[in-house]
Amino acid sequence: MGVLEWATSPWGQRVPIHIAWFLIWVAVIAGFLFFIVHATYLRYFAKTREFAGGISPAEAARIPEHVPRHSLAARLFHWIMAASMFVLLFTAFLPKVGVQFNWVTYHWIAGVVLTASILFHIIHASFFMDFWAIWPDRIDLRDAWRRMVRAAGKPEPPPDRFAKYPLENKLYHGAIIAAGLSAIITGVFMMSRVRTVFFPRNPYLFSDMTWGMMYVLHGLAGVGLIALIMVHVYFGLRPEKRPITKSMIFGWMSRDFYLKEHDPKRWVVETSSSSSSSPSTSKGLEGRGLTDAG
């Protein structure tokens, strides 16, 4: 049983046509295995989190009770993207597991919504937010090493508190970029094979082999997204992560949660009294923590 399905073109060439659909179940099972392994690790093996140094009372007093985390625009983007992603996953995969309906139109419409929302996000993140907040930095890598050594029971100084996003979130964002952009770029080309309102249908744009590879990449990105989204929802629902999920609804997180996990030097929350004086304040509106607090 191969991971691809093949066909013979009119010219006798063997070409891939798409992924084998059992990979849907591989992704779903991988997602559930992740839940089990992670929940077991947390329950029986994880030690209480410790961070280096403390936050001085003066620094803590500067932090507002509601720390702004996601602007209204960022939250709207997130939920529109999430809705379109779920429509894409269900319209793509339900027919493959036996639920038949006329899925293609709903699918490409959701694809267009996702594509538009991602274009918005790229512009918003590049010019209006702190672009670098979501990419791993040197402290993240040093602290990942420290956490690993400490988890193995060896002596090592504790890690620093996190910047706005912990390393795990940054790595997850990278994986979503890879899978999401692969699905979007191939999906936009695949729209030329079906009837849409955007351009005339043209199934001869590429050779059979190129189309085959494109469908394979689209399918691989799609099944990858099943596992990635399952993991994302799992973390969003976990009790210790709920303050983060709530911040994606209301826009802010509590001062207590911020002080427990975040380093005010790495994620500067600008207050009205510090707006003209803080040297390490990040350039973007959200990095500056200034946008609407919901």
| Footprint on this chain of ligand HEM (rule: CB under 6 A) | 18, 85, 88-89, 92, 104, 107-108, 111-112, 114-115, 183-184, 187-188, 190-191, 193-194, 215, 218-219, 222, 225
Q: How far is the CB of 37 from ligand HEM (least distance, A)?
A: 24
Take residue 209 and report the two structure tokens written for it: 């082999």
Closest to ligand HEM by CB, 24 vs 55, is 24
Beta bridge partners of 252: 68
Residues forming a β-bridge with 101:
none
* Helix or strand (DSSP H, E) at 5: strand 4-8
* Shortest distance in whole angstroms from residue 241 CB to ligand HEM: 23
Measuring CA to CA, which residue among 27, 192, 185, 41 is closest to residue 114? Answer: 185
Q: Which of 23, 167 has the CB closer to ligand HEM? A: 23
With beta carbons less than 8 A apart as the criterion, state whether 219 and 19 touch.
yes
Task: Tell me the H-state helices in 136-269.
Answer: 138-151, 167-190, 208-237, 242-250, 255-261
Considering the complex, what minimum distance in angstroms separates the CB of residue 180 from ligand HEM?
7
CB of 190 to ligand HEM, least distance (A): 4
Cα angle 108-111-117, degrees, rounded to a multiple of 5:
150
In the complex with ligand HEM, which residue's Cβ is closer, 161 or 218? 218
User: By C-beta, is 6 or 127 nearer to ligand HEM?
Assistant: 6
Closer to ligand HEM by CB, 191 or 227: give it: 191
Supply the minimum distance, in Å, between the C-beta of residue 112 and ligand HEM. 6
Identity of the residue, 82 or 290, whose beta carbon is nearer to ligand HEM in the bound complex: 82
* Dihedral sign for Cα atoms in the order 223, 229, 231, 237: negative
Q: Closer CB to ligand HEM, residue 72 or residue 177? A: 177
- CA pseudo-torsion sign 230, 225, 113, 197: negative
Residues contacting residue 9 through CB under 8 Å, at least 6 positions apart: 15, 208, 209
Give CA–CA dist 230/240, Å, rounded: 17
**Minimum separation from the CB atom of position 266 to ligand HEM (A):** 32
Rounded-to-integer distance, Cα 223 and Cα 248, Å: 25
Instruction: Report in angstroms how near the CB of residue 171 gets to ligand HEM at its nearest.
Output: 19
CB of 178: closest distance to ligand HEM in angstroms?
A: 13
What 3-state class would DSSP assign to 6? Answer: strand
Select 182 or 282, whichever has its Cβ closest to ligand HEM. 182
